[in-house]
């Protein structure tokens, strides 16, 4: 048999580094300049422009490029067909779902982190110390002990998932890692009916089944009815289920409602259950001394998960899960194969702490954007913008109901306003269709991006204020546009 493997020779010194560093540096500077200029001028364009046919065709029909066209030509294609067509979330008039804007400094931090290409399983390197320090800062801000464990994750879904995995392992009452769920009693997890969809994904992924996620009804303010929670736990125990964890939501995605975290903490203490808080955006209220009372009780949780790419204004992706007890946290994940043994010296000294705190091994250097933005802006400046968003939401809530037929669909608990137009002459079903049409025209006209949802079964429009670029003028434009479009749709 002959082998076709290439033999080493003078001709195999291949690399993907630039052949011409000077030309590459010029192009790289242009990439930075173009990106920053695009961000600086976002407000001059519509938040969202549907992609032209040529762009759709170019992107969908592209053949696998076996031969390169060079970096300048590839970049030109990006600048023409990709860069301009986003969903608009960086724009000053974007209030859809709960998304983030990102910051120019955060963009540069991600570029610097990519340049370092640090491997953040751990290892003895400065980025590890930055990551540990950022976790300590975040713990302090959330009212957790300074020495809490934690890990940065890609998003709230993943951060919550890690928190719930720790909870389940800690409270299963048997060796879950070894035995799995075979033959075990059904483990139950409690959350309000307004809990974000990550929780169902998590229990399904954990092999627990969605029936293990016990949804507790909410009161009219959309907060968990904690008296019913207690009754459900007792009833479940009586039928042989094993309650493990209560998820309190600090800021529901639909309306920003805050569960009564102190009441949940009392119940968890009494019932010996794990308390996890999903504070995807709402937990960030803790950065502001004025808003911190809204999340009272969060500091009593065993774990809390939150995004920094929503209300922390940083570019995707970054979230954090904090776990008070490091031993319990690592017990759910830690595993040391022979090729990753801590030798006490050398580059592997200190082991791989982040690999021991979640399912991932290779991780990028997420902490740098937090570290740089905290240092550059200061936490107070970030908290001021968070407070500004809350003030904007409250004022928008006051103003929107002054429009003809407009009503609030939920209390403005934090930074989300849910409202609808409900003309007396229409049925509830007609209201749903009417509001949906208004919302789509708001988006398609280039006025603003807001999103829809359902509250108590009825279609509502949502304005989520997690945008550091919106000025009050932008809200005035939305109010005026809503009045005009609502009128136009009604006229037909």
Residue ranges that bind ligand PLP, judged by CB under 6 A? 98, 155-157, 160, 196, 198, 249, 251-253, 278, 280-281, 307, 319
* CB 54, min distance to ligand PLP, A: 32
CA distance 369 to 352: 21
Helix (H, G, I), strand (E, B) or coil at 333: coil
∠ at Cα 414 (412, 416), nearest 5°? 65
> Whose CA is closest to 310, among 115, 157, 487, 84?
157
Taking CB atoms, the residue at the shortest distance from ligand PLP is 156
Nearest distance in Å: CB 446, ligand PLP = 25
Among 40, 29, 137, 109, which Cα is nearest to 316's? 109
Indicate the residue among 168 and 196 with the shorter CB distance to ligand PLP. 196
For the chain, the straight-line distance linking the first and the last C-alpha, in angstroms and rounded, comes to 78
CB neighbour list of residue 60: distance below 8 Å, 6 or more residues apart: none
Q: Return the number of the residue (225 or 307) whose C-beta is nearest ligand PLP.
A: 307
- Give the nearest distance from C-beta 448 to ligand PLP in angstroms: 20
Report, in Å, the least distance between residue 188 CB and ligand PLP: 20
Q: Which is nearer to ligand PLP, 251 or 351 (CB)?
A: 251
Between 160 and 373, CB nearer to ligand PLP: 160
Q: Report how far Cα 8 is from the mean position of its chain's Cα atoms.
A: 48
Is 233 or 247 the residue whose CB approaches ligand PLP more closely? 247
The minimum distance between CB 17 and ligand PLP, in angstroms, equals 35
Q: Is 415 exposed, middle or buried (0-12, 13-18, 19+ CB in 10 A)?
A: buried
| Minimum distance of ligand PLP from residue 218's CB (angstroms) | 14
Tokens 């976790």 correspond to 135
* Comparison of 305 and 485: residue with beta carbon closer to ligand PLP: 305
Q: Measure the CA–CA gap between 222 and 224, rounded to whole angstroms.
A: 7
Asked if 265 contacts 294 with a C-beta cutoff of 8 angstroms, the reply is no
CB nearer to ligand PLP: pick between 281 and 333: 281
Q: How far is the CB of 155 from ligand PLP (least distance, A)?
A: 3
């Amino acid at each position: 048999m002959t082998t076709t493997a290439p033999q080493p020779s003078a001709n195999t010194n291949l690399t993907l580094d630039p052949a011409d560093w000077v030309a590459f540096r010029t192009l790289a500077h242009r990439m930075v300049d173009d990106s920053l200029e695009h961000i600086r001028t976002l407000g001059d364009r519509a938040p969202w422009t549907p992609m032209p046919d040529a762009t759709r065709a170019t992107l969908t029909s592209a053949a696998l490029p076996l031969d390169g066209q060079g970096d300048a030509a590839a970049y030109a294609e990006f600048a023409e067909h990709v860069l301009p067509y986003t969903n608009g979330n960086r724009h000053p008039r974007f209030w859809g779902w709960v998304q983030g804007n990102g910051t120019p400094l955060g963009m540069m931090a991600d570029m610097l982190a990519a340049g370092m290409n640090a491997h953040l399983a751990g290892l003895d390197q400065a980025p590890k110390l930055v990551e540990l320090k950022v976790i300590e800062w975040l713990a302090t801000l959330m009212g957790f002990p300074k020495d809490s464990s934690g890990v940065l994750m890609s998003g709230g879904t993943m951060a919550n998932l890690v928190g719930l995995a720790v909870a389940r392992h800690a409270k299963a009452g048997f060796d879950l890692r070894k035995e799995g769920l075979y033959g075990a009693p059904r483990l139950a997890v409690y959350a309000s009916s307004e809990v974000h969809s990550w929780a169902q994904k998590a229990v399904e992924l954990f092999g627990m089944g969605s029936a293990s996620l016990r949804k507790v009804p909410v009161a009219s303010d959309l907060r968990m009815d904690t008296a019913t929670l207690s009754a459900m736990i007792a009833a479940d125990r009586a039928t042989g289920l094993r309650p493990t964890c209560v998820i309190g939501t600090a800021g529901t995605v639909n309306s920003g409602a805050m569960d009564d975290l102190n009441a949940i903490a009392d119940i968890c203490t009494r019932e010996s259950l794990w308390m996890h808080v999903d504070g995807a955006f709402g937990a960030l209220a803790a950065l502001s001394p004025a808003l911190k009372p809204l999340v009272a009780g969060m500091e009593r949780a065993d774990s809390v998960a939150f995004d920094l790419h929503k209300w922390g204004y940083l570019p995707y992706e970054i979230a954090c899960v904090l776990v008070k007890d490091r031993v319990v946290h690592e017990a759910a994940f830690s595993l040391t194969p022979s090729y990753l043994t801590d030798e006490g010296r050398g580059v592997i000294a200190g082991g791989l702490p982040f690999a021991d705190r979640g399912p991932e091994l290779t991780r990028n250097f997420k902490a740098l954007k937090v570290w740089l933005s905290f240092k550059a802006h200061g936490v107070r400046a970030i908290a001021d913008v968070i407070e500004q968003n809350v003030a904007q939401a409250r004022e928008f809530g006051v103003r929107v109901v002054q429009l003809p037929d407009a009503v609030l669909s939920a209390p403005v608990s934090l930074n989300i306003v849910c409202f609808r137009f409900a003309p007396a002459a229409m049925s509830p079903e007609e209201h749903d269709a009417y509001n949906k049409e208004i919302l789509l025209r708001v988006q398609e006209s280039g006025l603003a991006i807001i999103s829809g949802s359902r509250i108590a079964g009825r279609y509502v429009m949502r304005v989520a204020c997690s945008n550091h670029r919106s000025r009050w003028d932008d809200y005035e434009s939305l109010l005026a546009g809503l009045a005009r479009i609502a009128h136009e749709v009604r006229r037909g």
